């Protein structure tokens, strides 16, 4: 398929012509996905990954790329390119479509006017925001108005606690329907599952209500209060009906369990080298002499359960990439209510630690 620059009015005709040219392929449209990238390098790296995503979630995808006037883009003018999905000569039986939209200057503040006429039918619209802080961001506000769901990755955006707190507290203003999700949540699915499995036995389930402490340890260059640790802490606290109590430092807080007992929640940073994309090193939950510990070392995740001589199991699970998390999120027909509860509780924990929204 040609990648020449097109007027927006030409895009639909060219897409239809491409379908007619390949009668053995089925063009499927399960979604519209708008990806706002930071620059040309980000766009080029993402285009190939979207080709793989289209095999699982075929649809019409848009790469919105900021241009510059010195690249020959007149102010306020949009240009489009239709990009191939897959390597040269590769033809999937079911395919989607990838359109790059590029403009510069003030035109980027009204991107929705360029995208809306090109949206496919009545398929849902997802906005994958990859740029700067979306709160009070004119470009984000413009595109979120036409989106059914808004997706971002707090781990990739490296939000410090104050910005994470502001984002969580402003969720409804970001998308009034509540269709906001952090892709970090999907990347934590294995951690949540393994922690829950650690308390499956009757003895362990009884201990769950007797927890005395929980410790989240980040690794690599991740700070103690990072998005992954906060969402996992929010999930655990919201599932067990804990209430925020008193802070015992910048990264330690006492939570109040339903029976009135205290649970010390600690966030720590281990430092050292870590596999790229790795979110956490370990999570440890203690109830007297009983412990459940989940830890990752490279691709291996180890689970230890019990007291004294802990039972131990190890399995290999590759670290999920943001694209893995995106595919999993697109599998879900509606936002996950557990995420909303975890996000809200994470904000309460940050407030209890004395963090002020930026």
Closest CA to 100 of 4, 207, 198, 232: 4
- Give the C-alpha separation, 75 to 63, whole Å: 19
Topology of domain 187-319+337-352, per CATH? Dihydrodipicolinate Reductase; domain 2 (3.30.360)
Note the pLDDT of residue 88. 45
- The residue ranges of every structural domain in the chain are 8-147, 187-319+337-352
Note the pLDDT of residue 254. 98
> Does the pTM of the predicted model rise above 0.75?
yes
Note the pLDDT of residue 93. 55
Exposure string of 162-195, with b = 16+ CB inside 10 Å and e = fewer, is ebbbbbbbebeebbeeebbbbbbbbbbebbbebb
Exposure string of 280-314, with b = 16+ CB inside 10 Å and e = fewer, is bbbbbbbbeebbbbbbbeeeebebbbbeeeeeeee
- Check: CB of residue 62 under 8 Å from CB of residue 31: no
Question: In the chain, what is the straight-line distance between the N-terminal and C-terminal CA atoms, in Å?
Answer: 46
- Give the C-alpha separation, 129 to 34, whole Å: 8
Note the pLDDT of residue 92. 55
With a cut of 50, list the residues of the chain below it in pLDDT.
1-2, 69, 87-89
- Check: CB of residue 246 under 8 Å from CB of residue 253: yes
Note the pLDDT of residue 72. 55
């Amino acid at each position: 398929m040609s990648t020449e620059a097109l007027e927006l009015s030409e895009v639909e005709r060219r897409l239809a012509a491409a379908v007619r040219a390949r009668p053995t392929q089925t063009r499927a449209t399960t979604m519209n996905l708008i990806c706002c990238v930071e620059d040309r390098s980000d766009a080029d790296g993402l285009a190939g990954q979207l080709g793989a995503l289209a095999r699982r979630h075929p649809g019409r995808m848009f790469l919105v790329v900021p241009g510059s006037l010195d690249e020959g883009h007149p102010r306020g003018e949009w240009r489009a390119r239709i990009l191939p999905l897959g390597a040269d000569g590769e033809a999937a039986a079911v395919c989607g479509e990838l359109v790059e939209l590029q403009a510069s200057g003030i035109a980027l503040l009204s991107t929705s006017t360029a995208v809306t006429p090109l949206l496919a039918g009545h398929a849902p619209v997802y906005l994958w925001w990859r740029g700067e802080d979306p709160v009070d961001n004119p470009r984000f506000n413009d595109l979120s108005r036409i989106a059914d769901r808004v997706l971002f990755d707090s781990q990739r955006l490296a939000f410090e606690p104050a910005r994470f707190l502001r984002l969580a507290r402003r969720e409804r203003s970001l998308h009034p329907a509540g269709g906001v999700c952090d892709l970090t949540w999907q990347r934590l699915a294995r951690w949540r599952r393994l922690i829950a499995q650690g308390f499956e036995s009757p003895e362990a389930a009884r201990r769950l209500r007797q927890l005395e402490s929980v410790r989240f340890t980040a690794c690599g260059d991740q700070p103690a209060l990072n998005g992954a640790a906060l969402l996992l802490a929010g999930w655990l606290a919201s599932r067990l009906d804990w209430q925020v109590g008193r802070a015992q430092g910048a990264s330690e807080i006492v939570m109040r369990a339903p029976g009135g007992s205290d649970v010390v929640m600690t966030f720590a940073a281990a430092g050292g080298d870590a596999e790229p994309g790795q979110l956490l090193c370990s999570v440890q939950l203690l109830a007297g002499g009983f412990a459940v510990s989940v830890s990752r070392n490279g691709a291996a995740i180890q689970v230890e359960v019990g007291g004294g001589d802990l039972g131990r199991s190890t399995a290999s699970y590759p670290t999920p990439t943001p694209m893995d998390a995106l595919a999993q999120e697109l599998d879900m027909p509606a936002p996950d209510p557990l995420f909303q509860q975890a996000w809200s509780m994470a904000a309460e924990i940050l407030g209890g630690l004395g963090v002020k929204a930026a």
